[in-house]
A and B are shown apart, each in its own frame.
Chain A
Amino acid sequence: MKKMGVLLVSVVMCSMMLDAKDYVVDQVKKTFIPHEVTLHVGDYIVFKNSDPFAHNAYTDDEANEFDIGMQATGEDIRVKMKAPGSFDVECAIHPNMLLEVTVK
């Protein structure tokens, strides 16, 4: 019975992990592309940097706070969405770059 329980929990966790999706947001010509993204708790934003210089992405949203640090050209950084809500993401170097995120 105990083994069945562990198996059930494992199956549920695996299915949750399989359901998690990646949403690619590229940084091109000092612009987030796309500039808005809607995803679910557990999904990932994959930040790419196609510009020939460093970028960054951060949010001060309490529930989903993150700061990916300095991101070099060609580097991919995945960030997991932790809680539902809507918030803005900026580049710490180029604050005119704005990404609007909605987590459901």
Chain B
Amino acid sequence: MKKIVLACLLMGVSVLAQDTSKWICPSEVPQPEDNKLTKERIELGKLLYFDVRLSRDDTISCATCHSPSRGWSDEVPTSKAVGFQGRVGPRNSPTILNSAFQKKQFWDGRAKSLEAQALGPIEADVEMNMPLDMLIPKLNKIQGYKELFAKAYPESKGVITKEYLAKAIASFERTVISPEAPFDKYIKGDKNAISAEAKKGFELFQGKAHCTDCHDGWNFTDGSFHNIGLNDGELTGKELGRYNVKARPAWYGVFKTPTLRDVTKSYPYFHDGSVKTLKEATVLCSEGGRYENNVKNKSEYMKKRDLSEDEVDAVVAFMHTLTGPDVKVDIPTSFPQ
């Protein structure tokens, strides 16, 4: 009897001793040596992020498609440049949440840093459609911005360049971090923070459902690129994904694995925004993609997992625990003149 009690105790210790470190949010945000975070840089970046004057016709800001009230994303199937001739982008707006921790930016990973990413949407003709050779002189005529750039980047002496513009916007983006979610409380020891169904879902997520093959670690992405079989046959145009960056065979039709933090707020799902609900997205992945065959370079992770409906519901219930409370963002109401 004593032996049984001891064995049970040891099993309990072993469960408690499981290494949960990979699920714990890091306490520090990565910052490049040449653009360390300061209060001045973050505040300047925030003004720029919400300022519609960065677009060609003064109607669109970064926040139009990456809004704090919509999970730092939007709720339309593709990025919609609503202010400029109603042009519709080819891809769903990705959330910028925790992008500071991503080694590659954009769905196709074409930018290696937030600084490299920040100017892309400004110039994209389907987004803000503002050529930098028009924007930089425009900003340099706004005395209030010149003063803020001089404070944030003294070496600029108030002369705004595209490099300082990118650095300032990237500084604000680096502060957009997911809030503490029920899962975080659970993993730190509060066993009542999530439901029994969600706990079952977490086990499935790591096991039978194979979600952690890609959605691994505290940010629920390992940053990997995959063709998950949303389309079959030969791909063209933007559907080629990372292959458009460079024609490597491994990059044919692949897109970045998105974070699942605050995932209930960042619908619709996948790079083309073709799936409306989290349950549909989970079913699609558990069935090995929309197309089983005739998908060139399909990820080997995309296999049928034979999940029952209850198991799918449990995985979805678990993913709901990755959404934290709404964070109040003080959106600027006045901008430098």
Contacts and interface: CB of A to CB of B under 8 A. Distances in A.
Interface of A: 30, 53-54, 56, 58, 67, 69-70, 92-96
Given A53-B300, A69-B249, A93 B226 contact: yes
Contacts, number: 36
A67 B225 contact: no
B250 A94 contact: no
Interface string B204-224: 000000000100000000111
A92 B213 contact: no
A53 B301 CA distance: 8
Contact of A96 (B222, B226, B250, B301): B222
Interface in B265-300: 300
B248 A96 contact: no
Given A53-B213, A53-B300, A94 B224 contact: yes
Contacts of B201: none
A56 B249 CA distance: 10
Nearest to B250: A92
Contacts of B300: 53-54
Given A92-B248, A93-B224, 18 more contacts: A53-B213, A53-B300, A53-B301, A54-B300, A56-B250, A58-B248, A67-B250, A69-B250, A92-B251, A93-B226, A93-B254, A94-B224, A95-B103, A95-B109, A95-B223, A95-B224, A95-B225, A96-B223
Contact of B104 (A30, A53, A95): A95
Nearest to A70: B250
Interface residues of B, number: 16
Interface in B242-264: 248-251, 254
Contacts of A67: 248, 250
A93 B248 CA distance: 11
Contacts of B248: 58, 67, 92
B250 to A, nearest CB: 4
A30 B222 contact: yes
10 contacts: A53-B301, A54-B300, A56-B250, A67-B248, A69-B249, A69-B250, A93-B226, A93-B250, A94-B223, A95-B104
Q: Which 4 interchain pairs have the tightest Cβ spacing?
A: A92-B250, A94-B224, A96-B223, A56-B250
A96 B249 contact: no
A19 B225 CA distance: 38
Given A53-B213, A53-B301, A93 B225 contact: yes
